[in-house]
Amino acid sequence: MTGLRLAYVFLFLASCYIQCCYGVDSIIGHDDPYYRTLPCPNPEDIAPCACFYFNEGMHMNCTHISDDEELHQVFHSLIPFPAFRSLSLPTERLTTLSETVFGEVTFENVEIHCQSGIHNKDCDETLTTIDPNTFMKSVSTLRSLEIYISNISEFPFDTIGEYLNIDTFRLTNSPLATFPTINSETLKELYLINNTFREIPAHVLDGVPKLTHLQLQHNNIDSLAKAFMKLKVLLNLVNYSSQLTRLHRTRFDLSGPS
Ligand SMILES: *[C@@H]1O[C@H](CO)[C@@H](O)[C@H](O)[C@H]1NC(C)=O
Ligand SMILES: *[C@@H]1O[C@H](CO)[C@@H](O)[C@H](O)[C@H]1NC(C)=O
Ligand SMILES: *[C@@H]1O[C@H](CO)[C@@H](O)[C@H](O)[C@H]1NC(C)=O
Ligand SMILES: *[C@@H]1O[C@H](CO)[C@@H](O)[C@H](O)[C@H]1NC(C)=O
C-alpha cells in the first residue's frame, strides 16, 4: 500500500519537475502543428489550410490549397467560430472564388499572392473570377482585399461601396483592361499597378472622397492623361481635405513606362 502511495507521490513530483523544467507546452503537445489552438477549428478538418490564433484574432493560411473544390470543402467543414481576422490564398491552382466558397465565414483582411515564385514572372496565375458575392458575408468586417497577382480582367467593382469598413483595395499584376469606377465612402488606398488599361476617365476620383494613396505604375497611360490625373488628384484632395497636412501624407504615383 505504502509502496503504491509512494509511487503516486513520485509520479506527481516527476510531472511537476517536467512542467517546471520543460514547460507545459512540450507535455501537452503545443509544438505539434496539428494542435488545435482554440478558437481555431480542428486542424484535420481544414487541412491543407492552417489556422493560427494570435493578436486576439484567427488567421487562416490556405496557401497550400490545391483547387477550387478543396477550398470550398475547407470552409464548409466544422468551423465553430466563423469570424477570421485574415485569409491568405494562392493565385495559382484556384480559378474561381464562387459566391458560396466561404460559407458563413467572415474576414477582415484578405490577401491573394503568388506562392510559387518570389518574382511574379515565375507565377502561374490562374485565378480569373471573383463572384460579386464572394465576400458579402464580410460586408461589415472587410478592411482590405489585396490581390497581388491574378488573371482577373473583370472584377465586380460596383460592390466595393457595399463594404462598410473597407479602406484598402489592390488588384495588381493583372490584365484589367479598363480603369474601374469605384464608389466608396471609406476607401483610402487603391493599388492598380501593372494592369493593361490605357486611359483614366475624367471623374474617376469623384466616388472615393477619402482616398489618400493611389498607385497606377506600369499601366499604358499616356503622359497627357498622367499630367491631367495629377492635377485632378491635387484639386480633389484640396477640395476634400479640411487640413492641408493631408496632402503631405498623400502618395500618388503614376510613374513607369507609358
Ligand atoms: C502561410 O504559410 C506559408 C508556408 O506554409 C508561409 O510561407 C506564409 O508566409 C504564410 N502566410 C501567412 C500570411 O501567414
Ligand atoms: C486567363 O483568363 C482567360 C479568360 O479571361 C483564359 O482564357 C485564360 O486561359 C486564363 N489564363 C490562365 C493562366 O488561367
Ligand atoms: C506585370 O504582371 C505580370 C503578370 O500579369 C507579370 O508577369 C509581370 O512580371 C509584371 N510586371 C512587372 C513590371 O511587375
Ligand atoms: C472643388 O470644389 C469646387 C467648389 O465646390 C468645384 O467647383 C470644383 O469642381 C471642385 N474640384 C474638383 C476637382 O472636384
**How far is 258 from 244, CA to CA, in rounded Å?**
30
Residue 150 in contact with ligand 3 by CB distance below 6 A: no
Closest residue by Cα to atom 1, ligand 4, is: 239
Spatial separation of the C-alpha atoms in residues 106 and 48, rounded to whole Å: 19
- Cβ burial 91-121 (10 Å sphere, 16+ → b, else e): bbbbeebeeebbeebbbbbbbbbbbeeeeee
Specify the ligand 3 atom closest to the Cα of 123: 7
Is the pLDDT score of 246 beyond 50?
Answer: no
92 and 68 Cβ atoms separated by less than 8 Å? no
Centre of ligand 1 to C-alpha 47, Å, is 14
pLDDT at residue 247 greater than cutoff 50:
no
- With a 6 Å cutoff on the Cβ, whether 239 touches ligand 4 is yes
Per-residue pLDDT of 192-230, as tens digits, reads 999 998 887 777 778 898 888 888 888 877 766 666 667
Residue 15 has pLDDT above 50, yes or no: no
Residue 176 has what pLDDT?
A: 96
What percentage of the chain has pLDDT greater than the value 70? 71
Which band of pLDDT confidence, cut at 50, 70 and 90, is reported for residue 244? very low
pLDDT at 11 over 60: no
pTM higher than 0.85: no
Residues 227-234: contacts with CB within 8 Å, 24+ apart?
228/200, 228/202, 229/200, 229/204, 229/254, 230/254, 232/202, 232/204, 232/205, 233/205
Q: Look at 20-34, 148-162, 193-207 and tell me which has the smallest mean pLDDT.
A: 20-34
Reduce the secondary structure of 227-242 to three states and give it as a string.
HHHHHHHHHHHHHHCC
Whose alpha carbon is nearest atom 11 of ligand 2?
Answer: 126
CB of 63 shorter than 6 A to ligand 1: yes
E strand or H helix at 71, and its extent? helix 68-75
The pLDDT score that the predictor gives to residue 102 is 98
pLDDT at 25 over 60: no
As a whole number of angstroms, the distance between CA 178 and CA 155 comes to 10
Q: How confident is the model at residue 184 (pLDDT cuts 50, 70, 90)?
A: very high
**Which residues line ligand 2 at a C-beta cut-off of 6 Å?**
126, 128, 151, 153
How much distance in Å is there from the Cα of 196 to the middle of ligand 4? 30
Ligand 3 atom closest to the Cα of residue 175 is 5
Give the Cα separation of 180 and 176 in Å (integer).
9
Quote the CA–CA distance of 197 and 176 in Å, as a whole number. Answer: 6
Q: What angle do CA 187, 188, 191 make, to 5 degrees?
A: 95
Q: Which of 92, 119, 122, 149 to mutate to test the pocket of ligand 3 (most atoms within 8 A of CB)?
A: 149
Tell me what pLDDT residue 90 has: 97
Residue reference for cell 464580410: 138
3-state secondary structure of 60: strand
Tell me the mean pLDDT in the region 126-145: 98
